[in-house]
Amino acid sequence: MANLTVEAGNFAPVARSPQDSVKALAFADFYRKMDYDAVGLSSSETAHGFAMWQDLEDQGLPVVAANIFTPPTKKKSFFARIFGGSHEEPVFRQSVIREDHGERLGVIGFVSEKAWKALPDSGAGFIFRSPYEMETLVRRTASHSDHLTVVGEFSQREADSLARRYPEIDLIVSSGIYTEHPITEGKTVIVGSVARGNNGNYVELLPATEDTTANFVNEVKALDGSVPEDTAIAKLLTDAKQRIDEAGRRH
């Protein structure tokens, strides 16, 4: 079975203190070391500004935010560099497509209107393009994928609209929908990423046997307490707590 691991956003504390930035960096470090396929940016992340996330992208965090562009035109996406190329010859791409068990899995991340408005200085130095204007990217990515996932901070209404606008999307994972019960809009499955702590959303998309709404299974799974602790992750959490404590003492 092909697997895809994504984070839709709203994992970072709102930027109010140095400790908040340290916590955001700790999450980013975790996603990178756990080899996540894509990490979206919601309002909690954009409140820290874009520069920090671009730096983390250069360090290997698979940030997906295809609708933020650099002036003066809307042709160069700000978050288009996918880590994996060299600094001399970077790989520029607005979406992630990877193969797993013979399946091509595509992921696109969009910054929502809400996340855009949370950006400091009203987004000075950037151009925002609505996800509904990204038809060429969505259709192109879908044509090269067997399954297309979109991540971002969408309300239920926005997610429904995206599904109707782009029926090619198989799954929308939103950090702005606070329900554990996925729904379908046409053939698109819409899931809210509400699990936190030692819980995580697990969504299994099952191949449809006919041209109807996709079948799916959704579970919120807790970590198995009988499984021995992963020492690498334990060290990561310990180091993060130490950095947070040090930041608090400095301020």
Query: Does residue 134 carry a pLDDT above 80?
Result: yes
- pLDDT (0 to 100) of residue 50: 92
Q: Which residue has the higher pLDDT, 229 or 64?
A: 64
In a domain? residue 61: yes
Contact 32/60 with Cβ under 8 angstroms? yes
In a domain? residue 102: yes
Q: Which residue has the higher pLDDT, 125 or 45?
A: 45
- Is 0.85 topped by the overall pTM? no
pLDDT band at 211 (very low <50, low <70, confident <90, very high): very low
Query: Does residue 215 carry a pLDDT above 60?
Result: no
| Closest listed residue to residue 111, CA positions, set 160, 73, 89, 78 | 78
Contact 47/118 with Cβ under 8 angstroms? yes
In a domain? residue 101: yes
Which residue stretches of 34-151 are H helix? 43-46, 50-58, 113-117, 135-143
- pLDDT (0 to 100) of residue 151: 95
Rounded to whole angstroms, the Cα distance separating 145 from 86 reads 25
| Closest listed residue to residue 136, CA positions, set 166, 159, 100 | 166
In a domain? residue 1: no
In a domain? residue 66: yes
Q: Which two tokens stand for residue 169?
A: 């999307």
Coil, helix or strand at residue 75: coil
Range of the domain at 225: 6-250
Contact 74/136 with Cβ under 8 angstroms? no
The pLDDT tens digits for 42-80 are 999 999 899 889 889 888 899 999 999 988 877 788 887
Rounded to whole angstroms, the Cα distance separating 120 from 139 reads 32
In a domain? residue 152: yes
How many Å separate Cα 195 from the centre of its chain? 14
- pLDDT (0 to 100) of residue 220: 52
The pLDDT tens digits for 137-192 are 999 999 999 999 999 999 999 999 999 999 999 999 999 998 767 788 998 999 88
CATH of the domain at 104: 3.60.21.10
- pLDDT (0 to 100) of residue 165: 97
Strands (E), 95-181: 96-100, 103-109, 127-128, 147-152, 171-174
Number of domains in the chain: 1
In a domain? residue 131: yes
The pLDDT tens digits for 9-44 are 998 887 677 777 888 888 898 898 888 999 999 999
Q: Which residue has the higher pLDDT, 209 or 77?
A: 77
In a domain? residue 54: yes
